[in-house]
C-alpha cells in the first residue's frame, strides 16, 4: 500500500478549505471593490488548481507503479463519477424545469449532466473524468526524458494562458486543455520529488513570495478572479493561471519541509475533502435561497461564519452518511 505523505494530507485539507472559502465570497458580500479585497479575491479564488495539481501528483505517486488503465478508470470513476451522478441527477430536476421529456429535453438533460451546469464547482467532475480517460498519455509523459517533459509543460502553459478558462467553466475539453499543464506538473513533481526537494530546500519562501507577487501583478493588471472566454478568442494572457500554479508549487514545497504529523482535525478534513467538495455548493445554494447571509454586515466576519458553517456541516453530513452506509458511502459522497 502506498504511504500517505503528511504533506499530501495537509495539501488536501488546505485545498478544499480554500475552494470552499472562495465560493463563499459573494455569499458574505465580500466583493472586490477595494485594493485589499481585490488582492484577497485574487489570492483565494481559483484554488481548484490545487486539486488538479494534487490529482496529477497522486496519479504518479499512487497509481503509476501498478497502472492498468481499465482498473484505474473504474476506480476513479467509482469514487468521483458515481457520487456526482447520485447528487447531480436529482439536482437537475430541482434546479431546472422540464415540460415534456422529448428529444430536445433529453438532450438538454444530457448536456447539463455532461458539463456540470448545476452548482459552482460541479463542472470539475466531467473535466477530471475526461482527464482520467487520458491516463495512457500521462503514462507516456512519465516515460519521457526530463528536458522533454519540461518543454511540453512550458508549451502547454503558454496555451493555457492564451486560452483562459472556458465560458462559465462549461466545456470539459477546454478545461482539460487549460489544466493539462497543472496535472502534468503534479506528475512531474512526484516523479522527480527527491531531486526537486533538494533543489528547493531553503528556497520555499522565495517561491511563495514570487507566487504572492503574481497576485499583485494580476491585480495591478486589472484582472479580477478567474478569466473566462472562448478558447480561440484572444484576450491577452491569463495571469490567474500563473498565480495559482506558482502557489500550488510553493504550498507543496512548504508542506514537504514543514508539514509534520497532521492533527486529527486535519486528517478528517483531508479524508472528507471529496464530500466537502460535493456538499458545499448545495449548502451555499440553500443559504442563498433562504437569505441567511450576510448575518453581521461585516464581510470578513460573514465570510468566516459562512465558510466555517458550510465546511462543518459538510463534514458532519459526510460522517453521518458513512456511519449509516459504511464503505458504500463512497458511492454517495466520495467518502
Q: Which residues, in sequence order, are CB contacts of 126 under 8 Å at separation 6+?
A: 114, 115, 116, 172
Q: Is the dihedral of CA 326, 327, 331, 335 positive or negative?
A: positive
Does some domain include residue 2? no
Asked if 305 and 296 count as a contact pair (C-beta separation under 8 A), the reply is yes
Q: Is residue 50 part of a domain?
A: yes
Looking at residue 68, the DSSP 8-state letter turns out to be: -
pLDDT at residue 2 above 70? no
Q: pLDDT category, 102, cuts 50, 70, 90?
A: confident
- Whether residue 83 has pLDDT greater than 80: yes
Asked whether residue 100 carries a pLDDT value surpassing 90, the answer given is no
Closest by alpha carbon to 189, among 77, 297, 60, 332? 60
Residue 247 lies in a domain: yes
- Which of the four pLDDT bands, split at 50, 70 and 90, describes residue 101? confident
Report percent pLDDT > 90 for the chain: 86
Average pLDDT over residues 104-110: 88
- Reported as a pLDDT band with limits 50, 70 and 90, residue 97 is confident
* SS3 (DSSP) at 103: helix
Q: Say how many CA atoms lie within 13 Å of 315 toward its Cβ.
A: 18
Measuring CA to CA, which residue among 140, 142, 175, 141 is closest to residue 160?
175
Residue-wise pLDDT tens digits, 126-141: 999 999 999 999 999 9
CA atoms within 13 A on the CB side of 271: 14
**Which residues lie below 8 Å from residue 162, measured CB to CB, with a gap of 6+?**
234, 237, 238
**Nine-digit cell string for 135:** 491516463
Residue 1 within a domain: no
H-helix or E-strand containing 319? helix 299-325
Q: Which residue has the cell 469514487?
A: 79
- SS3 assignment, position 178: helix
Per-residue pLDDT, 84 = 94
Residue 183, pLDDT > 70, answer yes
Residue matched to cell numbers 463534514:
315
pLDDT interval class at 300 (50, 70, 90): very high
Split at pLDDT 50, 70, 90, the class of 280 is: very high
- Angstrom CA distances, 273 to 15, 138, 140, 171, 333, stand at 9, 24, 29, 24, 10
Q: Compute the average pLDDT of residues 265-294.
A: 94
Instruction: Indicate the DSSP class of residue 59.
Output: I
Mean pLDDT of 170-195: 97
CB–CB of 128/80 below 8 Å? Answer: yes
- Region of poorest pLDDT, from 33-37, 176-180, 214-218, 327-331: 327-331
The predicted-structure confidence for 206-264, as pLDDT tens digits, reads as follows 999 999 999 999 999 999 999 999 999 999 999 999 999 999 999 999 999 998 889 99
In tens, the pLDDT along 38-73 reads 999 999 999 999 999 999 999 999 999 999 999 999
Residue 3 lies in a domain: no
**Chain-wide mean pLDDT for the chain?**
94
- Per-residue model confidence (pLDDT) at position 1: 44
Residue 281 has pLDDT above 80, yes or no: yes
Owning domain of residue 257: 8-333
Q: Which residues contact 130 (CB under 8 A, 6 or more apart)?
A: 172, 173, 175, 176
Work out how many domains the chain is built from and give that number: 1
Q: Is 62 helix (H, G, I), strand (E, B) or coil?
A: helix
Write phi, then psi, for 272 (nearest 5 degrees). Answer: -100, 15
Amino acid at each position: 500500500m502506498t504511504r500517505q505523505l503528511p504533506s499530501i494530507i495537509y495539501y488536501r485539507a488546505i485545498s478544499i478549505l480554500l475552494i470552499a472559502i472562495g465560493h463563499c465570497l459573494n455569499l458574505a458580500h465580500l466583493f472586490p471593490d477595494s485594493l485589499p479585497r481585490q488582492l484577497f479575491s485574487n489570492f483565494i479564488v481559483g484554488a481548484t488548481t490545487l486539486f488538479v495539481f494534487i490529482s496529477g501528483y497522486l496519479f504518479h505517486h499512487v497509481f503509476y507503479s501498478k497502472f492498468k488503465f481499465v482498473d484505474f478508470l473504474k476506480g476513479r470513476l467509482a469514487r468521483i463519477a458515481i457520487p456526482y451522478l447520485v447528487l447531480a441527477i436529482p439536482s437537475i430536476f430541482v434546479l431546472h424545469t422540464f415540460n415534456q421529456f422529448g428529444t430536445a429535453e433529453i438532450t438538454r438533460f444530457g448536456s447539463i449532466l455532461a458539463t456540470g451546469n448545476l452548482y459552482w464547482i460541479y463542472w470539475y467532475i466531467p473535466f477530471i473524468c475526461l482527464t482520467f480517460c487520458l491516463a495512457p498519455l500521462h503514462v507516456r509523459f512519465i516515460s519521457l526524458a526530463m528536458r522533454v517533459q519540461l518543454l511540453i509543460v512550458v508549451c502547454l502553459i503558454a496555451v493555457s494562458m492564451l486560452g483562459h478558462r472556458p465560458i462559465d467553466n462549461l466545456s470539459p475539453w477546454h478545461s482539460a486543455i487549460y489544466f493539462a499543464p497543472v496535472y502534468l506538473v503534479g506528475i512531474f513533481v512526484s516523479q522527480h520529488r527527491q531531486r526537486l526537494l533538494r533543489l528547493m530546500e531553503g528556497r520555499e519562501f522565495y517561491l511563495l513570495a514570487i507566487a504572492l507577487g503574481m497576485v499583485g501583478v494580476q491585480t495591478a493588471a486589472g484582472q479580477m478572479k478567474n478569466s473566462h472566454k472562448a478558447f480561440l478568442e484572444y484576450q491577452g494572457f491569463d495571469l490567474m493561471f500563473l498565480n495559482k500554479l506558482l502557489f500550488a508549487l510553493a504550498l507543496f514545497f512548504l508542506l514537504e519541509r514543514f508539514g509534520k504529523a497532521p492533527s486529527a482535525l486535519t486528517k478528517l478534513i483531508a479524508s472528507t475533502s471529496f464530500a466537502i467538495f460535493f456538499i458545499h455548493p448545495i449548502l451555499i445554494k440553500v443559504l442563498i435561497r433562504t437569505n441567511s447571509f450576510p448575518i453581521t454586515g461585516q464581510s470578513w466576519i460573514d465570510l468566516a461564519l459562512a465558510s466555517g458553517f458550510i465546511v462543518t456541516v459538510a463534514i458532519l453530513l459526510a460522517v453521518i452518511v458513512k456511519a449509516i452506509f459504511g464503505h458504500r458511502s463512497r458511492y454517495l459522497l466520495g467518502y
